[in-house]
Structure 1
């Protein structure tokens, strides 16, 4: 597991906890992130409305990644064409996560702007599964719902045909989520499922962000208490590397990279997730491509000007 040197210390709050109802074919998960979330929001000056949406998506991504049956990474994205361009969360099978957002930094964003207002029209929800060894799988669907939780519940219903209820919360200092789901290949009594969901719906934002998993589950389900499993600590970890940036430059091609190098003298790439900076000077780039691409670009530009 590759972890940045500025990874925050894990506290008891930075955990995901699974639970199951022994007398009902229903399972669930709870996640509460504090230090991890504070580390992520410390990377950029996020507007309140975007910070809230990103925190909710982070909690959701950590919940969904618990079902990864392979060594790899789950990426959850919400993309729009409005003031908010993209929310991205990556959660790995090694119980790590990272998150970032892109938006029009010149636009006015009010604290109470809804997610739908920020994304504009033609928004999409993208989920990508990237095994460590193997080809990725990706699903893209139109956004349905006015919140991250509603979008995910609609997606789960469509893709996995599983009854799922999700509630999410985010503040400046914490993000949290609660998920209950019908077990695969089971059919709970509709009244039983409705009863569990009705109880879960009473969880408030404040409770999600401040109560431990034991307290919130007791508050919700003390008449039929679920069985809790050992908590799984969640860490922030960024998977960026100089090697991955080198691969990206190769994909861009010699002409585009050479033009930047000729104009600026070097290429600087900042990681959106952890703000690590990677600098490639002319020697680095020439070694990467195996030729003097800056000189080749200048020659081709001079030749074009002479025509």
Structure 2
């Protein structure tokens, strides 16, 4: 039972440990996670995967100076085929970042209450960064490895970015005193500040499948700082992470007071989807009238559903495609 909602819900707080040369983030998701998950009726194991990915997305997205979008994707050959999230950086100073997420799964093969991570199987973890028009999108991919999505993300940063990274996450359903059950999540991300020439293992890494881990890319001085910060983070508990009573600033002092923690401006986060009728029309503008006819239902409409927010669009086929007979407003 949680006594009261606190002001830090749905925020990401950046910080730096000056003594250790470690930067980090503390994230708290409350209403955002409820908004993400209420769009769909996922089984418990899929809900847990989406919750973990949304929390990772909030932590990672805030570390990147985005002009537009960060996407995380996990694709596997198990019953949980796809977990996808998007993080949209704020378009103006003071505005919240926006997060959306969805999952695709095989209900017949899924173990609804089984271990969530086991439902993924073999596959890959991908990070995609799109900075908008006039830029080249970035994509980094690593194999699924370890025992959690957080471990997959740590492996990605070690393998693709040569940045030692640690995530400590907690998420689940909780109940405000006298209120309904809702989702809460919280986590801490640590990342060794990048150096000009990281030390990289030459003969493969020590992680699963020969992938790199944090210990493979550290020199002796950096390793001492990194181990010390991680040892301190090991003492955190779940209630401190999700934050019913402990504010992020108090948590940082409790964990890292000897490392000289320094905090920066917190970033608010909200649920947000970018779908619109205009975007649906744009995506269909490459099709001929014959193609549009194949998409038309028996009722004489073309329909589209947003996988992220559940929005349902019903469109006149005569207004679609590059051979459209009418404009969207009905004019010839």
What SS does structure 2 have at the residue aligned with 1:177? strand
Q: Is the 8 A contact 1:126 1:141 kept in 2?
A: yes
Helix, strand or coil for the counterpart of 1:194? helix
- Find 1:195's aligned residue among 228, 239, 242: 228
2:121 is equivalent to residue 111 of structure 1: no
Partner-residue secondary structure (3-state), 2:65: coil
2:304 counterpart of 1:269? yes
Q: Could you say which residue in structure 1 is the equivalent of 2:131?
A: 131
Report what 2:204 is aligned to. Answer: none
State the alpha-carbon separation in 1 of the partners of residues 13 and 288 from structure 2. Answer: 45
Q: 1:55 to 1:272 in 2, by over 3 A?
A: same
For 1:182 and 1:175, locate their aligned partners in 2 and report how far apart those are by CA, in whole Å.
24
Write the distance in 1 (CA, Å) between the matches of 2:313 and 2:89.
26
How far apart, CA to CA, are the structure 1 residues paired with 2:112 and 2:158?
A: 32
- Write the distance in 2 (CA, Å) between the matches of 1:268 and 1:71: 31
In structure 2, the gaps of 5 or more residues are 1-5, 91-96, 174-182, 197-218, 326-332
CA contact (8 A) 2:20 2:259 kept: no
Trace 1:141-290 onto structure 2 (pairs within 5 A). Answer: 141-172=142-173, 173-185=183-195, 188-210=221-243, 211-251=246-286, 254-261=289-296, 263-285=298-320, 288-290=321-323
Give the whole-Å Cα distance in 2 for the aligned partners of 1:157 and 1:129: 17
Q: CA deviation at 1:203?
A: 2.0
> C-alpha separation between the residues in 1 aligned to 2:288 and 2:127?
28
| Farther off after superposition, 22-31 or 197-206 | 197-206
Q: CA deviation at 1:68?
A: 2.5
Q: Conserved in 1, the CA contact under 8 Å of 2:46 and 2:112?
A: no
Q: CA RMSD in A?
A: 2.2
State how far apart, in whole Å, the 1-side matches of 2:298 and 2:141 are.
Answer: 38
**C-alpha deviation, 1:257, in angstroms:** 2.9
> Would you say the 8 A contact 1:15–1:234 is kept in 2?
yes
What is the aligned partner in structure 1 of residue 200 from structure 2?
none
Stretch deviating more after TM superposition (272-281 or 183-192):
183-192
Gapped runs of 5+ residues in structure 1? 1-9, 293-307
Alignment partners' CA distance in 2, 1:52 and 1:109:
13
> Please, what TM-score do these two structures have when normalized by structure 1?
0.84
Residue 255 of structure 1 and its aligned partner are, at CA, apart by 4.0
Give deviations 1:150-189, integer Å, cap 9, x for gaps: 0000000011111111122221311222111111117654
Query: How many residues are aligned here?
Result: 280
